[in-house]
Amino acid sequence: MPNIGMPEMVEIEPGVADLAPTADQLTQYDEARLCLYLRLLDAEAEGADWREVARIVLKRDPAGEPERSRLCWSTHLSRAKWIAATRYMELFGRIETKSTKQ
């Protein structure tokens, strides 16, 4: 039975890959992690230490796996900046379209 009129369910904290996508368009991975990208941008704006951000936001262990953690943090932060600079209008258009269909 279809969920008519029911909002689409989203995962609150989806898992984070070691590397962010590099595609030149938004991916499903990106869309599912928009809050994560915003948290990364906010943390950078506040001058937060990358290790703290990797531990809290990305659920990585910078003490035990510093290289892996830093790479995860840097690729996701770069992706967040790319989305903010080049794809935000596309993204808002998708969000608006989804909300008007519900």
What is the Cα–Cα distance from 43 to 3, expressed in whole angstroms?
37
Extents of the domains making up the chain: 32-97
Specify the pTM.
0.78
pLDDT for res 24: 93
Residue 72 · residue 58 · CB < 8 Å: yes
Distance in angstroms between the alpha carbons of the first and the last residue of the chain: 16
pLDDT for res 1: 46
pLDDT tens-place values along the chain, 102 residues long: 455 555 555 556 689 999 999 999 999 999 899 999 999 999 999 999 999 999 999 999 999 999 999 999 999 999 999 999 998 777 666 655 555 555
- The Cβ of residue 33 has, within 10 Å, a number of other Cβ atoms equal to 25
Distances in Å between the alpha carbon of 38 and those of 6, 14, 86, 88?
26, 14, 15, 12
